[in-house]
Amino acid sequence: MNVGDKIKTFEVKKIVDGYAVTYDAQGRKTRYVAQYLLLLSDDGQERILRADKKSLNDSEKFLPTFGHKSKFKTWNMLANTSDKI
């Protein structure tokens, strides 16, 4: 994917680096740097999609404090890569 490409109604506005997390069998967390696509739709919705994913359903999600339904993360929720791993 490149800047300007479209995924349905979303357009890739920027490609940035951010942290991704994996867990091993013992539950230990490993953080690594991955590329993310910052997507913007025609009606102003923002989503974050890892560059190795292709579907909008794979966009990054979070669980709000109150409620059980997950929501899509917006651009300002992306991990900052200036922190040390």
**pLDDT value of residue 80:** 56
Q: What pLDDT is recorded for position 19?
A: 87
* Separation CA 57–CA 54 (nearest Å): 9
Helices (H) and strands (E) in the chain, counts: 0, 6
pLDDT digits (tens, 9 = 90+) for 34-84: 999 999 998 999 999 999 888 888 888 888 877 778 888 888 888 654 444
The torsion angle over the Cα atoms of residues 40, 42, 45 and 49, rounded to 10 degrees, is -30
- Tens-place pLDDT, residues 2-28: 787 788 889 999 999 988 889 999 999
Question: How confident is the model at residue 79, as a pLDDT?
Answer: 61
Residue 82: per-residue pLDDT: 46
